[in-house]
């Protein structure tokens, strides 16, 4: 079924979203602060709106994807939201999502969804793209067929802050992995070994094997039982010492590893060296 949708914000991500909705056969009205960015979409059949308010007026579902939440609010300020569903796919903090949900519904909107996009623009409408949603379950159920044109969609809960929180948690995992990669790459490079060869043949298979352990650690985090038969904090403390000294001998800074070493030292220093690594969550 063809739906009336507005897409506000046509940066790299917003343009990809609007393009996917056009491709799925919807009537898409677009607006962007810099009007020229709408040109390729208009050439594909999108309708250009001169103001955000006009774009909102033309649609039942309003998708916003701009730099941040202040920009989101700024462009919805003049629009009549009565009866509209607003899906804000802008990245932000959970508290901003909750405030925006109240603000939007307080102005008569039929529902608010917050979304966390787990994809780059090139992945939109392709297999592997995921968008996390939270907020109005009714709005999600109503528009799930439309949202499916963008990416796999997962409704995470009625607290509007949940999707952004889970989005940021996933980014946290990613940054941790990137930190580990960068330290490993610097160490390997210091020995003159090819970093590409190391990464493909050794590191990636190893990280995949280690990632398979994480559900077990997650169960320990949930239960609070950090007993281990894998490796305790004392062993990891000693391993970290070896690592850091090796970095120093190779002339590489272990800066991205040191916070983890500190947490291990702190917990083991409090007599909990028999625990496994999952115990470190209690230090956070
Ligand atoms: P871009 O820099 O390509 O686009 C930013 C968009 O925000 C543009 O449309 C810009 O308008 C608009 N904008 C900025 N400030 C304002 C303002 N004050 N009022 C109105 N519009 C404004 O970024 P992306 O499209 O990549 O990102 C958009 C959102 O999507 C961000 O929240 C980002 O975190 C999120 N996202 C992006 C991903 C990516 O890989 N790119 C991945 C996951 C999420 P103008 O064209 O006039 O400058």
ipTM: 0.99
* 274 C-alpha to ligand 1 centroid (Å): 47
- 37 touches ligand 1 (CB under 6 Å): yes
Instruction: Assess whether the region 4-158 and the region 166-283 belong to the same CATH fold.
Output: no
Q: Whose CA is nearest to atom 30 of ligand 1?
A: 90
* 82 C-alpha to ligand 1 centroid (Å): 25
Q: Where are the beta strands (DSSP E) in 89-242?
A: 111-118, 130-135, 152-155
Please list, in sequence order, all residues whose beta carbon lies within 8 angstroms of the beta carbon of residue 126, skipping any fewer than 6 positions away. none
Residue 5 DSSP SS3: strand
* 30 C-alpha to ligand 1 centroid (Å): 14
**Residue 47: which of 22, 28, 64 has the closest Cα?**
28
Q: Whose CA is nearest to atom 38 of ligand 1?
A: 120
* 74 C-alpha to ligand 1 centroid (Å): 14
19 within 8 A of 41, measured Cβ to Cβ? yes
Given a cut of 90, whether residue 16 has pLDDT beyond it is yes
Q: 193-218: per-residue pLDDT in tens? A: 999 999 999 999 999 999 999 999 99
CATH number of 166-283: 1.10.1040.10
For 93-118, what is the mean pLDDT?
Answer: 98
Given a cut of 90, whether residue 229 has pLDDT beyond it is no
* 60 C-alpha to ligand 1 centroid (Å): 22
Given a cut of 90, whether residue 230 has pLDDT beyond it is no
Give residue 187's Cα distance to chain centre: 29
Q: 40-76: per-residue pLDDT in tens? A: 999 999 999 999 999 999 999 999 999 999 999 999 9
Q: What is the pTM of this model?
A: 0.93
Percentage of the chain exceeding pLDDT 70: 100
Query: Domain coordinates of the chain in residue numbers?
Result: 4-158, 166-283
- 157 touches ligand 1 (CB under 6 Å): no
At residue 20 the predicted structure's pLDDT band, cuts being 50, 70 and 90, is very high
What local confidence, expressed as pLDDT, does residue 205 receive? 97
CATH code 3.30.70.260 for 4-158: no
Interior/surface letters 52-74, b for 16+ CB within 10 angstroms, e for the rest? bbbbbebbbbbbbbbeebeebbe
For 13-39, what is the mean pLDDT?
Answer: 98
Q: 80-91: per-residue pLDDT in tens? A: 999 999 999 999
Q: 128-166: per-residue pLDDT in tens? A: 999 999 999 999 999 999 999 999 999 999 999 999 999
The mean of the pLDDT values for the chain is 97
Given a cut of 90, whether residue 21 has pLDDT beyond it is yes
Q: 248-272: per-residue pLDDT in tens? A: 999 999 999 999 999 999 999 999 9
Given a cut of 90, whether residue 235 has pLDDT beyond it is yes
């Amino acid at each position: 079924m063809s739906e009336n949708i507005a897409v506000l914000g046509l940066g790299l991500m917003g343009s990809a979203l609007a393009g996917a909705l056009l491709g799925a056969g919807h009537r898409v009205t677009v607006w962007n602060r810099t009007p020229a960015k709408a040109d390729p979409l208009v050439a594909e059949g999108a309708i250009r709106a001169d103001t955000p308010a006009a774009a909102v007026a033309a649609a039942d579902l309003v998708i916003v994807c701009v730099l941040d939440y202040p920009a989101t609010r700024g462009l919805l300020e003049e629009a009549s939201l009565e009866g509209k569903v607003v899906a804000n796919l802008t990245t932000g903090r959970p508290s901003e999502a909750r405030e925006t949900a109240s603000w939007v519904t307080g102005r008569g909107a039929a529902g608010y969804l917050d979304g966390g996009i787990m994809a780059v623009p090139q992945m939109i409408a392709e297999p592997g793209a995921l968008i996390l949603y939270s907020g109005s379950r009714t709005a999600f159920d109503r528009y799930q067929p439309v949202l499916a044109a963008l990416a796999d969609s997962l409704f995470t809960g009625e607290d509007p802050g949940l999707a952004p929180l889970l989005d940021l948690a996933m980014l946290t995992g990613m940054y941790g992995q990137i930190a580990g990669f960068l330290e490993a790459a610097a160490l390997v490079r210091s020995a003159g070994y090819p970093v590409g060869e190391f990464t493909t043949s050794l590191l990636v298979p190893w990280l995949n094997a280690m990632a398979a352990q994480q559900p077990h650690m997650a169960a320990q985090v949930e239960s609070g039982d950090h007993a281990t038969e894998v490796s305790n904090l004392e062993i990891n403390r000693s391993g970290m010492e070896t690592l850091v000294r090796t970095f120093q001998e190779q002339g590489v800074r272990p800066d991205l590893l040191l916070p983890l070493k500190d947490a291990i030292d702190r917990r083991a220093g409090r007599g909990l060296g028999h625990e496994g690594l999952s115990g470190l969550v209690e230090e956070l």
